[in-house]
Amino acid sequence: METIWTRKDLLGLEDLTKEEIELILSTADSFKEVSTREIKKVPALRGKTVVNLFYEPSTRTRVSFEIAAKRLSADVINIATETSSVKKGETLIDTGKNIEALKVDIIVVRHNYSGAAIMLARHLSASVVNAGDGWHEHPTQALLDIFTLKEKLGKIEGLNVSIVGDIAHSRVARSNIWGLTKLGAKVTVCAPKMLIPAGIEQMGVKVTSEIDEAIRNADAVNVLRMQFERDEENAFPKQLEYFKNFGITKERLEKAKKNIIVMHPGPINRGIEISSEVADGENSVILEQVTNGIAVRMAALFLVAQANDPAPLI
Amino acid sequence: MIEKARVLDKDTLNRSILRIAHEILEKNKGTKDLCLIGIRKRGAYLAKRLGDNIEKIENEKVPVGILDITLYRDDLTLIAAQPVVHKTEIGFDITDKNIVLVDDVLFSGRTVRAALDALIDLGRPKSIQLAVLVDRGHRELPIRADFVGKNIPTSKNETVEARLEEVDGVDEVVIVAKN
């Protein structure tokens, strides 16, 4: 029995079933080939309009969504809130309703408040795709991480995956944990104690503050960026101190499995969470993640658009 | 759904495929620049079988590819069951090739229309021909097949099901009455 996608939105991986996650991954696998063609375009979303509504700075994710939508033949509008009416005090829901009144089919939203995408989706009949909400979820990033892992290692079930870095403030970590554990991977999170949120064990992960322990048996390590811009209380370890104790370096990888996969959602801070040698080295799949992001986002846009179409006529 | 008639069985179905293989070779004067592209799902298996037959006849392998047309359909919102996107697997350049597009049942012509769009996005073939196991009539577009296994006149209240061993465990074509 093939899984059917019925959700008008993609808000996070917490709500999805294992089968729904697998459907996105297999759809993405089919879409990957489109980007290798001379004419990198299929007409699947012709006549649909996608708005990228970004309340936080982003290049990678926004461009990736834009390219994904364009390769599906959708029309794309980008709204950066610094130059929009949001500056005049318009609320998120009002902005959303105005965009919807322009007969837009899909809104891709990034917001600094956790739950923003969920709230928007509840108030709109257009599809909403979460491109990152506060510290909550960043589903397409986790999906592309998992897609890349699966492509490299053939499966997810039974893998040991360690997530290293600022777990507390990371929506990427949270979405990865939901997705990976649902697909049967064993997840370890590793960070300075102050960057591990209380109760994270309840998500089914192992917790450590010893980097060598985190990578010793890992099949893959997902290195998160240290988000110093979120350090409002000036309580983070300093950059050099962090690199010394948690940075992924060639020396540290020598104690890990030889073919350990090194991932990073970008942008990378060389010499803080990862050394240049490792970032550019043979274990790194960082740029492949970027490529795979397009296929994963094409799948997400295609599936939500299809589910949100009017009822079948026959 | 009631099965009304079995129009091809294992033997007649395989003879039809063998005959089409001969006709393709005859029309294209051999295997030069020839390639077969099957439309998922059953057209892909038929293309593979045609390829095997051609290899037996001519002792030459012809490239065989698979085309998924889900993204090119004009009726995505009209079909009840949600289509699942599968891969297009064409491991060769189609530019300047003589392509035989293969499908199981030719009906409205809309699948073939979508396949033509999809193919032309991949390159510029010298020619595209169409081979189908069954032509059941009721065309809605100006499309016809170059090679036909069997013409089966049907009413619109009937459907034609081509079943292949690779997918359905049996080789046969049956006419089914809709309730």
CB A297 within 8 A of CB A65: yes
- State how far residue B80 is from chain A, nearest Cα, in angstroms: 6
Instruction: Tell me the torsion sign for CA atoms A83, A84, A90, A91.
Output: negative
The tokens for A67 are 């390219």
SS3 A189: strand
For residues B8-34, give the mean pLDDT: 97
SS3 A200: helix
Residue A61 known to be catalytic: yes
Q: Which residue has the higher pLDDT, A85 or B81?
A: A85
The residues, any chain, with a CB within 8 Å of residue B142's CB and separated by 6 or more, are B109
Q: Where in chain A is the domain with CATH 3.40.50.1370?
A: 18-138+291-307, 141-287
Q: Which fold has domain B2-74+85-177?
A: Rossmann fold (3.40.50)
Amino acid A312: pLDDT: 39
The pTM (predicted TM-score) of the whole model is: 0.86
Mean pLDDT of chain B: 91
Shortest CA distance from B68: residue in chain A: A30
CA–centroid distance for A123 within its chain: 23
Interval A216-257: pLDDT, tens: 999 999 999 988 777 777 777 788 889 999 999 999 999 999
Best residue of B85, B94, B167 to probe chain A, by most A CBs closer than 10 Å = B85
Mean pLDDT of chain A: 92
For residues A74-99, give the mean pLDDT: 87
For residue A144, name the pLDDT band (cuts at 50, 70, 90). Answer: very high
CB A224 within 8 A of CB A163: yes
The residues, any chain, with a CB within 8 Å of residue A241's CB and separated by 6 or more, are none
Interval A110-127: pLDDT, tens: 999 999 999 999 999 999
Domain spanning A141-287 has what CATH number? 3.40.50.1370
Q: What ipTM goes with this model? A: 0.70
CB neighbour class for B63 (10 Å; exposed up to 12, middle 13-18, buried from 19): middle
Interval B23-58: pLDDT, tens: 999 999 999 999 999 998 899 999 999 999 999 999
- Identify all chain B residues contacting A5, using CB atoms and an 8 Å cutoff: 82
For residue B20, name the pLDDT band (cuts at 50, 70, 90). Answer: very high
Q: Which residue has the higher pLDDT, A308 or A133?
A: A133
CB A77 within 8 A of CB A52: yes
Q: Which fold has domain A18-138+291-307?
A: Rossmann fold (3.40.50)
Tell if the CB–CB gap between B82 and A39 is shorter than 8 Å. no
Shortest CA distance from A305: residue in chain B: B77
